[in-house]
Amino acid sequence: MRREATRQLELGAVRVGGGAPVTVQSMTTTDTRDSIRTLEQIGRLAAAGCEIVRCAVPDAEAARSLEEICRGSSIPVVADIHFDFRLALAAIEAGAAGIRINPGNIGAAWKVAEVVKASRGSGIPIRVGVNAGSLRDEDARRFGGVNARSLAESALREADLIEKNGYDRVKISAKAFDPGVTVEAYRIISERTSAPLHLGITEAGPGLPAIVRSAAGIGALLLEGLGDTIRISLTADPIEEVEVGKELLQAVGLRKFGPVIVSCPTCGRTEIDLVSLVGRIRERLCLHPEASRWAGVTIAVMGCVVNGPGEARQADVGVAAGKDSAVLFRSGRVVRRLSVPEIIPALLEELETLSPQKG
């Protein structure tokens, strides 16, 4: 997939932009002033595959706690700053790998200049993060309300201000609840800057609706070649944000985190309990701690005589099942016939031969 060229930045050891893999971010939901609980959550996020984590810094106590958090985190910590530019200065002093500022509330140009000066001294990136819910009244009035143009112009103006202060280690986000508004805002931004883009749909909500909304907006941008890092914003445990983000990047072909399961939705032709079978296979493989062993491997589990054999042939390993039996395929060839209870053991056996550790 063709990717739009952007400048490359480093957040600690993680590269963002410039052709680096699109990274998965999340944000802690703990009180940042509680460094122990925050580090525990960061550990869980890192174990789930989170590559960059953001922590809210609402006051001076949180900024002081950030020093212990940054020191103890295994992944780069970005300080999320609103209203008080002095909190950004304190977070940089505490060792944050990056700073996020909001043009809607960070204040006057001289305050931004102070943040730039401190960031330059530490060599850390600044994310200009615009949200539809906190857009400056001035920008909304100038561009006819909260829309793609006003979001984009607000972000671009702030990024330009940072660069005029002699610093180009900037990345940009412009998020709205509406996927269409978000997509158009990022298109405008990408036409006018080579800064890396952080993608997200803000305040997307809970559960399935939020996942679909996020996938619609972020997925559209990724398929256009836009985006260098993403966060799926869910009203949920942030571990879920990481899991969905990884699935999305794998679905659009940008990353390989584990095996890909192809399975039919079932219909009146299905003669086995395919839902249960696929669930057990997913639990054994995709949710396995060593799922990355089979990263990018395609597994077809089909219960349909119409599409089953074709999908199974196209997969690395696949089965096409009927009422009492199934056919096992590997790389387009029939390997053997199976009884239904033999399907899972046979798939696992074939996958072991594909494992890098098995050659």
- Is CATH 3.40.50.1820 correct for 9-251? no
Distances (CA, A) of 113 to 3, 86, 164, 168: 32, 12, 9, 13
Domain with CATH 3.30.413.10 in the chain: 260-358
Residue 335 tokens read as 């390997």
Residue 197 is given by DSSP the state B
pLDDT 10s digit of each residue in the chain, 359 long? Answer: 788 899 999 999 999 999 999 999 999 999 999 999 999 999 999 999 999 999 999 999 999 999 999 999 999 999 999 999 999 999 999 999 999 999 999 999 999 999 999 999 999 999 999 999 999 999 999 999 999 999 999 999 999 999 999 999 999 999 999 999 999 999 999 999 999 999 999 998 899 999 999 999 999 999 999 999 999 999 999 999 999 999 999 999 999 999 999 999 999 889 889 999 999 999 888 877 778 888 999 999 999 888 899 999 999 999 999 888 899 999 999 999 999 999 999 999 998 887 554 33
Where are the domain boundaries for CATH 3.20.20.20 in the chain? 9-251
Q: Which fold has domain 260-358?
A: Sulfite Reductase Hemoprotein; domain 1 (3.30.413)
- The residue length of the chain stands at 359
CA angle 234/255/311 to nearest 5° reads: 100
pTM: 0.93
CA atoms lying within 13 Å on the CB side of residue 161: 23
Dig out the tokens for 116 from the structure. 């730039």
